[in-house]
């Protein structure tokens, strides 16, 4: 129950939501005689926090160390035995309701699946993604990808669907169990660049040797460390993603799901 509970708590109280709640509580305290000074400090802290995290470069500072940890994949001509694409990009409920595959900001994972399937026609294709909801009998991301494989240009008969995983550790364990990779085989792991360190740590712990294929970059490079964000909502969203991932790295290390605090190439 540790990780589902921690995930639930994070989604309810994200860093940006915490700043909003802090500011609102501070504003309420301004109307009380006892808490006026505390309320003024809390409201100011909440406002400044939202300003810095939303419009400032703070989100880039949080994300760049994660995204730059593993370099982009360079094809050296060596054969690729298989490709594992992690879920997290498909909006299952919307896809079913609208009868078309719907993706979120991490949709590059599906783009990479289609591209790599074309570039490596002999490689085994694994899509690892269960359901992110707590409802029983919820449809998995892997099932959605299979249903709409034609839209992606991926032959259904090439897809190996791992539909039980609920987190990154289970992505690794269940994918290794299904594929039984042989020593010396090259397997590519496709996931968001900011998620790659934790994913690589989990696959190594599962005994599945993979090569990083990072996609879905949220920063463009060092210049982002000095640039302001156009929309505060974008900055806050990226800030939440980065903080969540750092918390995930710490939690996975403490739980023994990875050997390193920050897995490296």
pLDDT digits (tens, 9 = 90+) for 177-215: 999 999 999 999 999 999 999 999 999 999 999 999 999
How does residue 72 score in pLDDT terms, banded at 50, 70 and 90?
very high
* Span of 76-80, 135-139, 235-239 with lowest mean pLDDT: 135-139
Helix residue ranges per DSSP H, 56-107:
58-67, 92-98
- For residues 39 and 30, the answer to whether their CB atoms sit within 8 Å is yes
Looking at residue 248, what is its pLDDT?
93
Confidence of residue 137 (pLDDT cuts 50, 70, 90): low
Q: How confident is the model at residue 5 (pLDDT cuts 50, 70, 90)?
A: very low
- Residue 10 is predicted with a pLDDT of 46
3-class SS of residue 120: coil
Q: CB within 8 A of 196, min separation 6: which ones?
A: 66, 67, 69, 70, 189, 212, 214
The residue-averaged pLDDT of 109-121 equals: 95
Question: Across residues 241-256, what is the average pLDDT?
Answer: 93
Q: What is the per-residue pLDDT for 66?
A: 97
pLDDT of 135: 57
| Least confident among 2-16, 54-68, 182-196 | 2-16
Given a cut of 70, is residue 59 above it in pLDDT? yes
């Amino acid at each position: 129950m540790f990780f589902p509970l921690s995930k639930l708590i994070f989604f309810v109280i994200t860093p940006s939501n915490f700043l909003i709640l802090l500011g609102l509580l501070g504003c309420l305290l301004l109307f009380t005689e006892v808490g006026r000074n505390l309320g003024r400090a809390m409201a100011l802290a909440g406002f400044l926090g939202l300003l810095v995290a939303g419009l400032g470069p703070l989100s880039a500072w949080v994300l760049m160390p994660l995204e730059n940890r593993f370099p982009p994949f360079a094809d050296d001509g060596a054969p690729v035995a298989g490709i594992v694409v992690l879920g997290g990009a498909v909006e299952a409920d919307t896809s079913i309701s609208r009868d078309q595959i719907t993706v979120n900001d991490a949709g590059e994972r599906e783009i990479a699946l289609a591209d790599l399937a074309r570039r490596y026609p002999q490689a085994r294709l694994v899509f690892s993604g269960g359901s992110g909801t707590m409802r029983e009998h919820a449809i998995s991301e892997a099932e959605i990808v299979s249903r709409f494989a034609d839209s992606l240009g991926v032959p259904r008969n090439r897809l190996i669907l791992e539909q039980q995983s609920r987190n990154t550790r289970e992505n690794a364990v269940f994918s290794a169990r299904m594929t039984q990779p042989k020593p010396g085989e090259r397997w590519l792991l496709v996931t968001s660049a900011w998620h790659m360190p934790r994913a690589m740590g989990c696959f190594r712990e599962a005994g599945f040797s993979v090569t990083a294929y990072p996609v879905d970059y949220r920063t463009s490079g060092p210049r982002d460390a000095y640039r302001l964000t156009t929309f505060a909502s974008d900055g806050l969203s990226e800030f939440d993603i980065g903080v969540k991932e750092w918390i995930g790295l710490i939690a996975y290390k403490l739980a023994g799901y990875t050997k390193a605090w920050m897995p490296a190439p």
